[in-house]
Structure 1
Amino acid sequence: MDVQGNTFLITGAASGLGAATAERLVAGGGNVVLCDMQEGVKAQAESLGASAVACVGDITSDADMQKAVALAVEQSDGRGLAGVIHCAGVVSVGKLVDREGNPASLEAYSKTVNINLIGTFNIMRLASAAMTKNTPSDDGERGVLINTASIAAFDGQVGQCAYSASKAGVVGMSLPAARELSRHGIRVMAIAPGVFETPMMSEIPDEAAQALAAAVPFPKRLGKPVEFAKMAEQIITNVMLNGDVVRLDGGIRMQ
């Protein structure tokens, strides 16, 4: 699939990985719909010019995501929604039992899974339904879904039960979804980033962030959002990438 001339829906697009991906696709001649709960997504879309429009919405909402998908189809000039790069999500930390012997919050666990996993399923189901109506390419391709997992899906740390479980669910959906949607010519992939320079990382103390960067074998630094964007672009343009998860982590294995 070409980036140029096609329309992509990007969630979590107000900043970080989503914003960098939007910039990359617009630079490659694509059209983008930027979706985020933050009002700042409007300014982000404006900064990208006529090829970008904004949509404020919650990824766990049926109605909001239907509107986002419909807007992308509307912006496509009859070509349909070509791809989704789903970057929206939350980080959560909470031990099963705290120092005082109190159990973890069930509400907090449910919230993390609802946003990171059920929110992913929500956008997948609505976007793929829209993509089935697209005219196939010469390869028979109608669209591509790119989800954001995390290395925590494989190397979860202490206190990451909720986050790791939610991202492991994203990984677990990739292959069965790809198999199911293959009949429609729709590919499904996931990117599992390591430690990246994003607003989420700002929630971690500087000392901890420096320790994480030092733990990366090479390059010995935090990942840059543009490097995630480059991987998303590669998945879009390489039709053989399907049903799998790409670790984008500089070789780090969390302890």
Structure 2
Amino acid sequence: MSKSKYNVALIVHACDGYEFLYEGFEHFFSKYWDFKIPCDYYFATEEKEVNISGFENIRSGKGAWSDRLAYLLKNKIEADYILYFQEDMWLSKPVNRIFFEQLFELVSDKGWKQVKLHSSDVYKTIATDMFIEGFNVAEIDNRQSDFLMSHQVTLWQKDFLLAQLHKKEHPWRNERRGTKRLKKLNPQIFHIDYFAENGCTEININQQPKNRGEYHAVSFNSTLNFNVVEYIKLLNKGKTELKKYAAELQHHYDNNLTHGGKAKPKKEDIFKKFKNWFLKKKG
């Protein structure tokens, strides 16, 4: 049985190849999260054993993205609800414990299947008369919205999330095909402007919401993106070990290195590729 009062597990679904990001996630999550929020806390890797403050490390083994997550949900997590994060989503503002307690209670009472907690203009919403700490609990207009299946911060009913994890889907395919499946299924999906994802403004009709959270995704195609710059500045204000990590992040960012420290392969132009093939064949 889940140890959480509200039967919720917060999972950080990480891959071993992004180990370079773990330290940054841990630092900013510990700085801005309130561990009094009643969840079971899991940091999920593939095969690497890691110690992340406040989390239990669970492992899925290697495999396709969807298969790894499905294994964890079926075999490692007992809670009925999943608050989903990834390791490249770094918090940048304190969170509101009361908001999450009220959210968990409402979702448990209503049996909702999916509540998106990140603002994005890909969603079109319909206001309801429900509010949590000033945030409107809006309903997604499925026909007008994109990315009904997404891997941003979302509270899921576990069995419903499992149903969206078809075998051998990588993340992008799961979002793309999963969205098509959900549009066909047309379930009730809710949206709350709680997290300003990458600084996105609110999209719902709220009533002076309290203590809105924020996070930025610092990774794109296995390299650091521009969002990491502000985090580097904050790390440079810390102790020696944080400054060392900041320097490593800066080096990766400046040189467009992958999270494994390698130069990112350049994609060869298709016409150049054909020309080289033709000349080689001719020669």
TM-score, normalised with respect to structure 1: 0.35
Between Structure 1 and Structure 2, the one with more helix by share is 1
Between Structure 1 and Structure 2, the one with more strand by share is 2
